[in-house]
Structure 1
Amino acid sequence: MQTPRRTAAALAAVATSSVLLLSACGGSGESDTSAQGGPVELKVNLFGTFGYQELGLFEAYEAQHPGITISYESTQDEDKYWPALQTRLASGSGMADVQGIEVSRIADVVANQPDQWTDLRDTPAADAIGRYIDWKEPAATTPDGAVLGLGTDIGPMGMCYRTDLLQQAGLPTDPTELAAQMPTWDAYLALGERFKASAPATTAWADAAGGIYDAMTSQLEVKNYDKSGNLIFDSNPELRSRFDTAAKAAQAGLTAKLEQFADPGWDQGFSSGSYATIACPSWMIGYIKGKAGDGGSGKWNITSLPGGAGGNWGGSYLAIPASSEHKTEAAELIAWLTAPEQQAQLFAKVGNFPSTKEGIAQVAGTTDPYFNGAPIGKIFSDSANAAPIQVLGQQDGVIKNEVSQALLSVETAGVSPDDAWNTAVNNVKNQAG
């Protein structure tokens, strides 16, 4: 998933308190790097907003490790970050000491680039490998056992909604009552028809057909690739069925016809009320806060996905390029950044759901006053526990982009679902083989 994650504006306010709190938390012990051979500058290159700088984690780490200086760079759009990273890998220059890898890219890295990345078993990060939920680290592990990245977050799913807009349309606003009226995705669309009949013409039921599709397919174990690694995107009936459901929402006028993360109107919609519901992974709650601002507090709430089924959308890894000259120090840093204590604090502040077992246990009781006191710890823990262990493929990122564009063509250009699907299939075959 191309996860832009949270905006800096939503996180900056908590940076100072986080530095004080986290200076004593988790990871490797304090060390004086200057006494071990001189100061070290660690370059960290990520995409979107992981929250580390905004919450003061880099500053806290530097305070614990005299002689270490962290130089940080982030590209907001992962679709731009990843091609640039591939160019630097091919040229053999320009790589940082720590690079982020989005979950939809990790299978490609494991299959095609293992020699370009550091096996963390041979670094101080080795002790951190076993602390994750069962499927997180295996996804970053090669067939011969090399571990190429430490997990940051995961993206268990819920349904975020505007309570004021649902109330105006005469729909239930209590999370439990709302969930009861959405036992299936078809029921979710039927509820959208009721909303459309009473809501202002400027407000749609959902933000984007692509978002609906992503949420539905996040609940599948086998999606674009089968368990043997074969591309089955064009022949998997479960995918076509969900594509048709999302296209149905578009044709019925239930979506705001916006491209997620790319259309300025989508960002504005969190505060303007141009859509009432959005399928949201845990990290989205921080994004909503940043875009809706203080005026959105108390207007938003969260319930489970239709049917109460779990799903996962997102999650990344921190990896060390083989070209890094500071592998030991970089490994110590990523082990600290992904420690349970740091993961728990990131979730409490910005919604990055932990990928470590201990971190998940620490956030189980978390609530969020911005979302009407929603028990976000329980909602996303339940979703994580119910989510399938998905088969990841080398071109998942490419496929997601093509499907999103296909559904957008249904929404905005009136392309038929059959034609849109066939275009996506052809484009995927041209790019993914």
Structure 2
Amino acid sequence: MPIARAATRAAVRLGAVALTGALLAACGGASDGAPDAAGGKVTLTVDLFGSFGYQEAGLYAEYEKLHPDVTIKQTDTEDEADYWKSLQTRLAGGGGLADVQGIEVGRIASVTQQQADRFQDLRAYGAEKLKGEFAEAKWAAATAKGGEVLGLGTDVGPEALCYRTDLFARAGLPTDREELARTWSTWDGYLELGKRYREKAPAGSAWIDSVGSLYSIMIGQEEERYYDASGKLVWDTNPALRTAWDTAVEAAQSGLSAKLDQWSPQWNQAFAAGSFATIPCPAWMLGYIKGQAGDAGEGKWDIAALPGGAGNWGGSYLAVPKAAEHKEEAYELIAWLTAPEQQAKLFRTQGNFPSATGAIEQVADAKDPYFSNAPIGRIFGEAAKAAPVQVLGVHDQNVAQQITNALGEVERKGTDPAKAWANAEKGVANTLG
């Protein structure tokens, strides 16, 4: 997925219904976006995948209070792949687009390299003045070769591990976050602890939600994943990717997974049911866990540093299509939403780790009572500083989906890993043409 990523995948997202193209078109249509004839008010439409946390954190309401002539209407699609497919259809047709569209970090290279003519260059509204407010890599990723600024960064996805202290205690495992970080300082250590958990785990509880999430968090630790720095597709020869694959396969074959499809209703329900004891946890996952586990989960979760070093999984952008009805007003909104003050507030309430450098400084001392008062500012701040600057490719998200699909075959069907890998190769070839 938003947070991030995600970007964040927070509470309201859980009840979101994947919207049809027709409904999305209606939400971006002239009847919604046009100024009100009586009051001169403008309705800005915002179309996202999942929830970026803006409604939950009260940011839309705050913006509307500051701008009485603006009403914000958000729609969202729970699954990012469905969202992206629908967005491509509407971009091709030129209609049904919202004033603001969310872009996942795995898609931003597609926007800058293949679709720059379909998104507004935000320099027209003075965006170049904001460059110094963002992490250099975050800003550069949304800048096209011609210098066009095609999106403003929301969150990034520094990684950690979230775990259920109550389930750990019942299985006789340590619960202290610092001790655990030492115990699973490597992924081999993490799997070994998982095998100990499996022996005494409460009925119906696995070590991890899915091997797809394990793969995703591991590949997020790498600078080069699917493409190399020259832009060449190298996923099938990348030794780091193969290590992540092999580790995920071992977890599946060792019976450590709850075998849940991420973002599925069953996966959502599992947070409250205690169906897994650990979950790879980029910062945006915090809000998602709170939304799914609910009040009953408060104090049962904690966060520890990630095995194998820091990484990044997710993060998003806000962009304005050229076909948007209210481009200037849309820019003003996204500039405000991504400003340091709002990013800091979003992290403190939803867990989306900021991409604005000023906000990172503001949240350094943040703790989260829901996660056993974990020092989330320090944990994710240190991870963000140490995370590699990743090479982004046009089809990152497509390749990743085929790999996680293949891992799902190993996990749920017992497919031979070699056959599943071959299926991933075929899937990538078919997807990329």
* Separation of aligned partners in 2, 1:269 and 1:10: 12
CA pair 77-9 structure 1, distance change in 2 beyond 3 A: closer
1:268 and 2:272 are equivalent in the alignment: no
**CA contact under 8 A between 1:156 and 1:353: conserved in structure 2?**
yes
Aligned to 1:128: 130
Match of 2:286 in 1: 285
**Letter matched to residue 330 of structure 1:** A
* Residues 120-151 of structure 1: per-residue CA shift (max 9 Å, x gap): 11114332233111210111111121110000
Secondary structure in 1 matching 2:136: coil
Q: Give the Cα–Cα distance (whole angstroms) in 2 for the partners of residues 325 and 415 of structure 1.
A: 49
For 1:341-360, list aligned pairs within 5 A. 341-360=341-360
- TM-score norm. by structure 1 comes to 0.91
- Residue aligning to 2:11: 7
Note the C-alpha offset of 1:38: 4.4
Q: 1:200 to 1:62 in 2, by over 3 A?
A: closer
Which of 240, 244, 247 is the aligned partner of 2:246?
244
Q: Which runs of 5+ in 1 are unaligned?
A: 12-32
Matched, 1:316 2:320: no
Fraction of identical pairs, as percent: 55
CA distance in 2, matches of 1:57, 1:275: 33
Show the 5 A alignment for 1:183-262.
183-262=185-264
Residue 52 of structure 1, CA deviation: 1.4
> d(CA) in 2 for partners of 1:211 and 1:299?
21
Q: Which amino acid aligns with 1:281?
A: P
What's the offset of the Cα at 1:266? 1.5
CA–CA separation in structure 2 for the residues paired with 1:153 and 1:391: 17
Any runs of at least 4 consecutive aligned residues in structure 1 with deviations exceeding 3 A, and if so which? 1-4
Q: 1:149 aligns with which of 145, 151, 167?
A: 151
Q: Quick check: 1:119–1:147 contact (8 Å CA) kept in 2?
A: yes
TM-score by length of 2: 0.91
Q: Is the 8 A contact 1:163 1:301 kept in 2?
A: yes
Contact 2:208 2:258 (8 Å CA) reproduced: yes
The 8 Å contact of residues 10 and 289 in structure 1, kept in 2 or not, is answered as no
Query: Aligned pair 1:419/2:419, yes or no?
Result: yes
Contact 2:43/2:72 (<8 A) preserved: yes
Residue 304 of structure 2: aligned partner: 303
- Residues 10 and 286 in structure 1, CA contact (< 8 A), matched pair in contact too: no
* Cα contact 2:13–2:51 (8 A) shared by 1: no
Alpha-carbon separation, structure 1, partners of 2:256 and 2:346: 34
Query: Root-mean-square deviation (CA), in Å?
Result: 1.8
8 Å CA contact retained: 1:175, 1:303: yes
CA shift digits 1:353-379 (9 cap, x unpaired):
111000110111000111111000100
Report the alpha carbon displacement of residue 313 of structure 1 after superposing the two structures with TM. Answer: 0.8
CA shift, 1:232, in A, is 0.7
Q: Does the aligned pair in 2 maintain the 1:129–1:150 contact within 8 Å?
A: no
Task: Indicate the SS of the match to 1:135.
Answer: helix
Distance 1:124 1:55 in 2: 27
Paired residue total:
408
Whether the 8 Å CA contact 2:57–2:345 is kept in 1: the answer is: no
Q: 1:51·1:346 contact (CA, 8 Å) conserved in 2?
A: yes
Q: Is the 8 A contact 2:99 2:330 kept in 1?
A: yes
Partner SS for 1:306: coil
Question: What amino acid is aligned across from residue 232 of structure 2 in structure 1?
Answer: N
Q: 69, 72, 77: which one pairs with 2:71?
A: 69
Aligned to 1:14: none
| Paired letter, 1:86 | Q
Q: Look up the match of 2:390.
A: 390
CA–CA distance in 2 between the matches of 1:41 and 1:179? Answer: 48
